[in-house]
Amino acid sequence: MSSPVSYELEGNIGVITVDNPPVNALSQPVRQGLLDAVTAAQADGSEALVILCAGRTFIAGADITEFGKPLKSPWLPELLAAIEASEKRVIAAIHGTALGGGFETALSAHYRCAVATAKIGLPEIKLGLLPGAGGTQRTPRLAGVQAALELITSGTPIAAEEGQAIGLIDRIIEGDLREGAIAWARDLAASDAPVRRSSEQPVPEFDPGIFDAWRAELAKRARGQIAPEHIVTCVEVGATTSFAEGMAKERELFMECMDSPQSAGMRHIFFAERTAAKVEGLAKDTPQRTIAKVGIIGGGTMGGGIAMSFANAGFDVTLIEVDDEALKRGLGIIERNYAGSVKRGKLSESDAAGHRARIAGSTDYASLADVDLVVEAVFEDPELKKTIFKKLDDTCKTGAILATNTSYQDVDAIAAVTGRPQDVIGMHFFSPAHIMKLLEVVRGAKTADDVLSTVMGLAKKIGKVPVVSGVCYGFIGNRMLKPYGETAQLMLLEGASPEQIDNAMEAWGMAMGPLRVFDLAGLDVGYKARQALSDAEKGDPKSYRVPDLLVELGRMGQKSGAGFYSYDENRRAIPDPAVDKLIEIAAEDLGVERRTITDEEIVDRLISALVNEGRKILDEGIAQRSSDIDVVYVYGYGFPASRGGPMFYADNKG
């Protein structure tokens, strides 16, 4: 079997080429090939070496198929030490993405060049890990402590030009990368440029207090995660002692992270996300319909966010509202969202203007006659949705996909009012839709395979993580949320306070406690839904008595300044003794004996409520696999990725 790494001399320059499709991952043969090439070059007539990659990218990172398996020699740190020790200048030439071990390989070279479109980064933290081959040691020596901590603890790749500005990239190559890199290597050799090892560079001056400041910030940003703290420690040791001591600490803490339940959970989610994109029973060669123009029905917060999601990905969008006033209001929401993105530095003025220009508004359904996809995003009134779909059936061209953004309703019943149920599908976005990554793709009983295939592919194009769900009330996520919320209400009556419940769940790792979530969503939403139900359909009064009483007192949640909490002008939740008293009275009225409830019981009962409903969803075939449920809860409901999702957590707990 031939090596995925080749080596050839072009005059006085040795050219090392990695060709390991699709992303030139650092598999064992690649590591061995690189080591062999660098070793061989020490004895030939080359004056400098260029490492570059065939295909669409530089080394994009580790070989994920090796995760969890014993690594075979050479280890990456061993390889990179050999590259850096080369007596001949080594130049890394980057295109596409150089991530993780790929970027660590570039850092071990003596010089780095890249095309302007390239991106570099160290995303290991997203798997509960830290760079394990010198990334925490070489980066601060080249870019400084502050820039290194920003890059490594965010895990977010940066553009090559930004990398050049902070010292990680030496030169931007215009035109052909191979030609430009070889020409630069010849210039370096001709000028007798030094072999410049990053491990020998001093760390630029820094404020000694920076490490404690970062620890405090990360403790708030990544509650309970060990990798961020360990990254700071590695950088600190390297910056205050020696490269060798820093490398030893990096290896020690990397192995600790690798063996941790947190990394196991985050690696589970990494693979689960990729598995979720595979639809059981759907052939790989299933055709996809062409989508260029998109219509959105409803210009509220959700509809506006969905419109932005498509516009940001380059689609032309038509937003439909009932009248000019509502349309103006909807387009205004979009304008404010883009202005906010510009203010926060997420978008440039020109990019925001370009995205906004793709969104047109109308009050006439005839404007949707030539769209390829329409997404209905009005409020949860099943009869209204059916009325809209009858109009769409009459208006939209043959082959257009008709999608509903419903959070709960029966997609099959909505499809049944049309003459084309095969073209109807659920696309359940999460608010704010232009930011949240999850998309529940609801497959109706008659949804055509090419429609499902198209929407799954489209989800990726607009930056979403798609998960297929069957049809049931609430689909996967919201169906599980019901027993979760009911359990929280029962514990309020039994003796826990709103603050205790929320604090316990947030300390455990949830992005937001359940009662703060309900206040954010609006307590009146559930209240109105319950008014249409019979007493039997409502279920146990213990599961809704407290929120109903709050709504009847005008406490709708954040929108009214009071719900389970009172809220100040900054929407900060403040515990309210009046709510505690109301809960006590409700408990007495319902005959519930109050007692002391521990934080551990709160967590156990709430997570068990999620898991038990998840098992039912799996048994009924609503979800394809348990890992899909984990993806839904991590990406849509603030479940900590470091716990791997509710089903993974339960499986590991036993």
* The total number of residues written for the chain in this structure: 654
- Dihedral, CA atoms, 388, 394, 397, 400, nearest 10 degrees? 30
What are residue 256's phi and psi, to 5 degrees?
-65, -45
Q: Are residues 375 and 325 in contact, defined by beta-carbon separation less than 8 angstroms?
A: no
DSSP E strand stretches across 291-382: 293-297, 316-320, 359-362, 373-376
Tokens of residue 300, six digits: 């509220």
Give residue for tokens 């999601």: 309
Q: Are 207 and 125 in contact (CB under 8 A)?
A: no
Report the 10 Å Cβ neighbour count for 653: 12
> Could you say which DSSP state residue 318 is in?
E
Q: Which helix (H) or strand (E) holds 306?
A: helix 301-312
Helix axes 477-494, 514-521, angle to 10 degrees: 110
Q: Which residue do the tokens 């990053």 mark? A: 198
From 8, 10, 78, 104, the catalytic residue: 104
Alpha helices in 60-176 (DSSP H): 76-85, 101-108, 135-143, 145-154, 160-165
- Quick check: is 104 catalytic? yes
Q: Give the pairing of strands 373-376 and 293-297.
A: parallel
* Closest-CA residue to 424 (of 452, 403, 410): 403
Residue 593 annotated to the active site: no
Catalytic, out of 84, 124, 321, 494: 124
Query: Tell me, what amino acid is at 311?
Result: A
Long-range pairs for 210-217: beta carbons < 8 A, 24 or more residues apart: 210/145, 210/146, 210/149, 211/235, 211/236, 214/149, 214/153
Residues marked active site are found at 104, 124
